[in-house]
């Protein structure tokens, strides 16, 4: 009798506990979705900034078009031809205004180079300077581009990477671009979605890293076989090879990939370079689709060592699509943001924010704080950039997403999930993939604009500040197009319009910018690290080439200062190793900083 009573009471107690647990699960799920919603009727300024889409009023009417590959891929064409919308920012004519290059991908389509007229308008000059007609069946179609002054003549040159032949264009004093041709020594065919410039050996010349996605021997227009797909959804190593091309200083490049230890054949979608181990040499982070990330530690410019596993960033395979660096805690440590896939009800990989546990030299272990900081769930995420959008002194995060927006009421996700779990013999053959039949795959997604409160929390304010588009975003780049002390946002959408969000920041917030020019270092100053000290805080940024997905921000570094009207100092560590300190630079202005002589 006692036992029966005891068990009956216990049953009621456990029943209550079970119901409460189920309710808690539901509540936690809702809480994780986060985000700030606003009233309809336009952006509001409660977060210190608003974004207004202004492409057409600035003179930009670009719409990306996708390629059409071999007919045997017709049934999944929206997937295999799902990339190519890219944007790279640079002041190519050195007039003090940020210009940008956008890529197109349909065979015969034209890329565009938008020259910033400085009067609030942008004009396409790609045809005039020889950078428009670059998408041909025989050479392949554009997947992205990255600027870098490889010959140190003071003008940014352009590397165009394709599903096809990579091509280097020399900047002729800002008046035109000349193809460097085969003398450059670039590989004949690379199916690449990412590339970057870096001076890996600190010899003062920019070297080139180029990452294949599909294997080099795949011609997507003329398939020899349909067995071209990844051998696994998360463990594939049958992707394209990588190239680290050393700048010989005579306009040519030498392939030193294997000698330097870069033997990966993963499906790389994004690469960024930065000094992550405090050695002064740039390391490489690769965000790989269908697998783990790779973190190549630069050993004194002599070899690269993959330390991703030990560092913690290469243990969990996901679908990496973005690589960007940001000092999210204002403590001088650069965190790595890598995007992945999150589709409610099917696949929730979550994005990764890898934050180093300890700074300085020696081994570093990273921990993924994306969930803790609230930047993990971003849909089918693509490009993302760190930047202080509201000039409050912290690095915010702008994310674009969406894979294939087709039928609004039909989804390919079930079929995608079925094939994704298949063994390599099944998933590896495109013929086994169920046809898409006009269905969407994570389409029409809402973007994320996460503002950083500086205390360890990011809040998505996209819908209330004005970033309300639902295109299939790929690349996003940040640039102060109006030289106003505010980071505008340029978004390249796959098979969609190029968007330019003009950023209107509250006028009481201060800022400062630094445009660096190397002397002993590479002239683009790529790899330079700048620490800004103000108001008891410090924020580190590095000058980089590629960052995000198929994107490049303006090289000029932008810092928001909040209400502070003074800066204590900046400390620059140039790629050459020289250190420079500038005391009390004036705020609310751009500073041109040339690398000094001596040590």
Partner 1 sequence: MAGDVGVLAPQAGTPAHRPRVLSLENRFLPPILITLILLSAHLSFGVLEGWERTGLSIVTAIGTELVLGRVTYGKWLNPASAYISGISAGILIRSPFLWPYFFCSFISIVSKYVLRLKGRHIWNPTNFGVSAMVFLAPATVTVLSIQWGNVVAPMVVIWILGAIITWRVGRAHISATYVVSFLLFSFVRSALTGIPWLAAVAPITGPMYQLYIFFMVTDPKTTVRPVWGQCLVVFLVAFVEMLMRLAEIVYAPFYALFLVGSIAMIVEIWLDSRRPPERANSQQLSFDPTPNAQSAR
Stretch that binds partner 1, among 29-37, 56-64, 241-249, 268-276 (CB under 8 A): 29-37
Q: How far is the CB of 74 from partner 1 (least distance, A)?
A: 15
| 3-state class (DSSP) for residue 414 | helix
Query: Are 66 and 494 a contacting pair, CB within 8 Å?
Result: yes
Query: What's the gap between Cα 272 and its chain centre?
Result: 8
Q: Among residues 14 and 173, whose Cβ is nearest to partner 1?
A: 14
Q: Does 535 bind partner 1 (CB under 8 A)?
A: no
Among 128, 172, 415, 517, binds partner 1 (CB under 8 A): 415
List, in order, residues 6 or more apart from 359 with CB less than 8 Å away.
Answer: 278, 331, 332, 333
DSSP readout, 316-351?
A: S-B----BEEE-TTSSSPPEEEE--BEETTTEE---
Q: Does 371 bind partner 1 (CB under 8 A)?
A: yes
Residue tagged 């968007």 (tokens): 499
| 3-state class (DSSP) for residue 529 | strand
Q: How far is the CB of 75 from partner 1 (least distance, A)?
A: 10
Q: Among residues 317 and 383, whose Cβ is nearest to partner 1?
A: 317
Interior CA angle at 168 toward 165 and 174, to 5°? 145
Q: Does 445 bind partner 1 (CB under 8 A)?
A: no
Q: Does 152 bind partner 1 (CB under 8 A)?
A: no
Query: Are 15 and 8 a contacting pair, CB within 8 Å?
Result: no
Stretch that binds partner 1, among 20-28, 91-99, 241-249, 523-531 (CB under 8 A): 20-28
* Element (DSSP H or E) covering residue 541: strand 537-542
Q: Does 228 bind partner 1 (CB under 8 A)?
A: no
Q: Does 7 bind partner 1 (CB under 8 A)?
A: yes
Among 116, 191, 196, 232, binds partner 1 (CB under 8 A): 232
Among 71, 259, 418, 563, binds partner 1 (CB under 8 A): 418
Q: Does 235 bind partner 1 (CB under 8 A)?
A: yes
Q: Measured between alpha carbons, how far is 265 from 240 in angstroms, rounded to an integer? A: 5
Query: Are 529 and 541 a contacting pair, CB within 8 Å?
Result: yes
- State phi, psi for 108 to the nearest 5 degrees: 90, -5
Binding mask 51-90 for partner 1 (x = CB under 8 A): ----------------------------------------
Query: Are 493 and 474 a contacting pair, CB within 8 Å?
Result: yes
Q: Does 354 bind partner 1 (CB under 8 A)?
A: no
The DSSP letter of residue 586 is P
Q: Is the dihedral of CA 269, 273, 276, 277 positive or negative?
A: positive
Count of positions (residues) in the chain: 599
Stretch that binds partner 1, among 215-223, 277-285, 386-394, 421-429 (CB under 8 A): 421-429
Stretch that binds partner 1, among 386-394, 413-421, 458-466, 553-561 (CB under 8 A): 413-421
DSSP readout, 394-405?
A: S-EEEEEE-SB-
Rounded to 10 degrees, the C-alpha dihedral 374/236/137/74 comes to -80
Residue tagged 């870096």 (tokens): 198
Interior CA angle at 550 toward 377 and 316, to 5°? 45
Rule CB under 8 A: which of 169-198 touch partner 1? none
Q: Does 579 bind partner 1 (CB under 8 A)?
A: no
Q: Measured between alpha carbons, how far is 504 from 464 in angstroms, rounded to an integer? A: 13
Among 32, 178, 563, 589, binds partner 1 (CB under 8 A): 32
Among 36, 132, 223, 419, binds partner 1 (CB under 8 A): 419
Among 81, 370, 516, 551, binds partner 1 (CB under 8 A): 370
Interior CA angle at 388 toward 387 and 394, to 5°? 110
Q: Does 455 bind partner 1 (CB under 8 A)?
A: no
Q: Among residues 369 and 490, whose Cβ is nearest to partner 1?
A: 369
Task: At 449, list the tokens.
Answer: 């604009």
Q: Measured between alpha carbons, how far is 292 from 288 in angstroms, rounded to an integer? A: 6
Q: Does 234 bind partner 1 (CB under 8 A)?
A: yes
Q: Among residues 435 and 438, whose Cβ is nearest to partner 1?
A: 435
Among 71, 431, 563, 589, binds partner 1 (CB under 8 A): 431
Query: Are 138 and 157 a contacting pair, CB within 8 Å?
Result: no
Q: Among residues 279 and 371, whose Cβ is nearest to partner 1?
A: 371
Residue tagged 């932008």 (tokens): 558
Q: Does 255 bind partner 1 (CB under 8 A)?
A: no
Stretch that binds partner 1, among 94-102, 107-115, 268-276, 337-345 (CB under 8 A): 337-345
Among 376, 460, 488, 504, binds partner 1 (CB under 8 A): 376
Among 424, 459, 468, 483, binds partner 1 (CB under 8 A): 424
The DSSP letter of residue 311 is H
Q: How far is the CB of 269 from partner 1 (least distance, A)?
A: 18
Q: Which residues would be at the binding site for partner 1 (CB under 8 A)?
A: 3, 6-8, 10-11, 14-15, 17-18, 21-22, 24-26, 28-30, 32-33, 231-236, 292, 309, 315-317, 342, 344-350, 368, 370-371, 376-377, 411, 413-415, 417-427, 429, 431-435
């Amino acid at each position: 009798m006692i036992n029966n009573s005891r068990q009956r009471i216990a049953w009621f107690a456990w029943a209550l506990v079970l119901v409460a647990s189920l309710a808690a699960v539901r509540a936690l799920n809702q809480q994780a979705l986060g985000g700030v919603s606003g009233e309809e009727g336009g952006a509001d300024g409660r977060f210190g900034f608003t974004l207004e889409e202004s492409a057409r009023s600035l003179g930009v009417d670009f719409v990306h078009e996708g390629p059409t590959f071999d007919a045997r891929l017709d049934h999944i064409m929206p997937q295999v031809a799902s990339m190519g919308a890219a944007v790279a920012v640079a002041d190519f004519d050195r007039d003090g205004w940020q210009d940008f290059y956008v890529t197109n991908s349909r065979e015969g389509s034209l890329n565009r180079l938008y020259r910033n007229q400085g009067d609030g308008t942008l004009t396409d000059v790609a045809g005039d300077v020889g950078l428009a007609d670059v998408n041909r069946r025989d050479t392949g179609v554009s997947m992205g581009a990255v600027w870098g002054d490889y010959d140190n003549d003071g003008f940014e040159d352009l590397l165009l990477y394709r599903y096809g032949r990579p091509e280097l264009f020399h900047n002729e004093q800002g008046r035109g671009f000349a193809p460097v041709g085969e003398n450059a020594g670039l590989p004949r065919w690379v199916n690449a979605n990412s590339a970057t410039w870096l001076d890996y050996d600190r010899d003062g010349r920019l070297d080139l890293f180029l990452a294949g996605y599909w294997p080099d021997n795949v011609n997507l227009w003329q398939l020899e076989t349909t067995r071209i797909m990844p051998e696994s959804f998360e463990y594939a190593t049958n992707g394209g090879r990588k190239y680290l091309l050393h700048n010989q200083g005579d306009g040519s490049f030498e392939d030193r990939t294997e000698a330097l230890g870069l033997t990966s054949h993963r499906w790389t979608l994004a690469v960024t370079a930065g000094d992550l181990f405090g050695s002064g040499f740039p390391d490489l982070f690769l965000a790989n689709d269908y697998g783990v990330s790779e973190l190549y530690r630069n050993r004194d410019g002599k070899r690269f060592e993959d330390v991703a596993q030990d560092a913690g960033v290469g243990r969990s395979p996901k679908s990496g699509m973005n690589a960007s660096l940001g000092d999210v805690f204002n403590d001088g440590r650069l965190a790595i943001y890598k995007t992945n896939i999150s589709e409610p009800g099917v696949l929730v990989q979550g994005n990764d924010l890898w934050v180093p546990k300890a700074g300085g030299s020696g081994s570093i272990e990273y921990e993924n704080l994306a969930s803790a900081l609230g930047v993990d769930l971003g849909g089918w995420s693509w490009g993302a950039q760190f930047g202080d959008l509201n000039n409050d002194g912290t690095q915010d995060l702008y994310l674009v997403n969406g894979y294939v927006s087709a039928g609004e009421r039909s989804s390919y996700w079930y079929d995608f999930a079925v094939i994704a779990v298949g063994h390599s013999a099944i998933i590896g053959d495109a013929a086994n993939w169920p046809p898409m039949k006009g269905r969407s795959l994570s389409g029409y997604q809402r973007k994320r604009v996460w503002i950083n409160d500086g205390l360890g929390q990011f809040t998505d304010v996209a819908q209330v500040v004005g970033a309300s588009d639902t295109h299939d975003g790929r690349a996003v780049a940040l640039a102060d197009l109006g030289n106003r002390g505010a980071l505008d946002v340029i978004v390249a959408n796959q098979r969609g319009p190029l968007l330019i969000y003009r950023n209107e920041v509250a006028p009481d917030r201060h800022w400062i910018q630094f445009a660096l020019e190397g002397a002993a270092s590479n002239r683009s100053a790529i790899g330079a690290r700048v620490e800004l000290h103000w108001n008891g805080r410090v924020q580190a940024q590095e000058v980089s080439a590629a960052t995000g997905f198929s994107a490049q921000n303006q090289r000029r570094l932008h810092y928001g200062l909040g209400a502070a009207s003074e800066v204590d100092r900046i400390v620059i560590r140039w790629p050459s190793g020289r250190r420079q300190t500038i005391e009390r630079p004036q705020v609310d202005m751009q500073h041109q900083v040339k690398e000094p002589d001596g040590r």
